[in-house]
Amino acid sequence: MHILSYKVTYKEVDDIITNLQINDIFNVFYENPLEITTDEFGYGYIEKEDEEIILKVAYDEDINNFKSFKEKVSNIIGKKEDSIEEINYEYEDFSIPAIHINDEWVLASPDEEIEGKKKINFISQGAFGTGLHETTQDLLSVILSKDFTGKRVLDIGTGSGILSLATAIKDASEVVALDIRDVKDEVLLNASLNGIENIKVLVGDAISGEITVDGLFDWIYINIGGAETEMFMPLIENNLKKNGYLLVSGLVEWSFDSVKTMIESYGFKMVEKYQSNEWCTAIFN
């Protein structure tokens, strides 16, 4: 396998990846320039927009076509590569590993064959929600154990859209996937890999009113953090059906009780709780 590296700024990376995808180039990855912060609610992060990052494009096909592939990528990005590495990775080691959510379900790349399990096809394009984090895994396990037939679901902070995808696969009638970052291409790519067409992506700041979330939902999910959950509570209260369910994660154990008390002050009762390492997930009704 050959890896082409390009130095670009973080703020131009989304446009570059979109252009590469339009040209059928999907094996692209980079590390988010995040500064991890801690607060009373756990961990947070600040994205450093002006930071230079290394965008890597992998090529694993016929070596005779490598030169033309390299020229094509350089033309799309608008500059020559900064370096080329040859790596003898197995493809499986290079992509995100298959994630066995439970005895029935696995999350894996479309080209991986997994015997005896139902597979969700998934390709990561950089947004949070690869299934590697404890919060995502616990949420997927909860969602895939339920039947959402006929239910309308709002997924706040959808990231890669992985929770929306699992919910649509479990027969929800409509899923609205909301994020403040433009994750639309990634969510819709993964939906299409699974033949799913009823996920609607909303991008923008729903708290400031920049965008509006219409209608009532049977379930609302939020996996961002305690402070954000509190900020979203008025919207949740307005948009959740009477007797609807709120699925919350991204809460660290040392702040869980105060977030639970805050949610209960809106008239909810906790009905289920899960924990993996310090990360807590709960369902309220």
Ligand X SMILES: C[S@@+](CC[C@H](N)C(=O)[O-])C[C@H]1O[C@@H](n2cnc3c(N)ncnc32)[C@H](O)[C@@H]1O
Angle between helices 162-169 and 134-144 (to 10 degrees): 10
Bridge partner residues of 28 (DSSP): 57
b (16+ CB within 10 A) / e for 242-272? eebbbbbbbbbeebbeebbeebeeeebeeee
Q: Which is nearer to ligand X, 22 or 132 (CB)?
A: 132
Residue 228 is a binding residue for ligand X (CB under 6 A): yes
Q: Report the SS3 class of residue 5.
A: strand
Residue 126 is a binding residue for ligand X (CB under 6 A): no
Query: What mask of x and - would describe binding to ligand X in positions 248 to 267, judged by CB under 6 A?
Result: --x-----------------
Of the residues 127, 172, 176, 246, which one makes contact with ligand X according to CB under 6 A: 127
Residue 178 is a binding residue for ligand X (CB under 6 A): yes
Cβ atoms of residues 176 and 217 within 8 Å? yes
Residue 128 is a binding residue for ligand X (CB under 6 A): yes
Distance in angstroms (rounded) separating the CA atoms of residues 68 and 25: 13
State the distance between the two ends of the chain, measured CA to CA, in whole angstroms: 50
Of the residues 129, 219, 252, 281, which one makes contact with ligand X according to CB under 6 A: 129
- CA proximity to 251, closest of 221, 229, 220: 229
- Give the residue closest to ligand X by C-beta: 157
Residue 244 is a binding residue for ligand X (CB under 6 A): no
State the minimum distance, in angstroms, from the CB of residue 248 to ligand X: 11
Tell me phi and psi for residue 67, to 5 degrees. Answer: -60, -45
Cβ atoms of residues 99 and 89 within 8 Å? no
Q: How many residues bind ligand X (CB under 6 A)?
A: 22
State the minimum distance, in angstroms, from the CB of residue 62 to ligand X: 36
Q: Which is nearer to ligand X, 180 or 280 (CB)?
A: 180
| Stretch in the footprint of ligand X (CB under 6 A) among 37-45, 93-101, 121-129, 184-192 | 121-129
Residue 157 is a binding residue for ligand X (CB under 6 A): yes
Nearby residues of 21 by Cβ (< 8 Å), 6 or more positions away: 125, 185, 189
Distance in angstroms (rounded) separating the CA atoms of residues 127 and 129: 6
Residue 159 is a binding residue for ligand X (CB under 6 A): yes
Residue 180 is a binding residue for ligand X (CB under 6 A): yes
State the minimum distance, in angstroms, from the CB of residue 206 to ligand X: 6
State the minimum distance, in angstroms, from the CB of residue 162 to ligand X: 6
Q: Which residues bind ligand X (CB under 6 A)?
A: 127-129, 135-136, 139, 156-159, 162-163, 178-181, 205, 207, 223-224, 228, 250
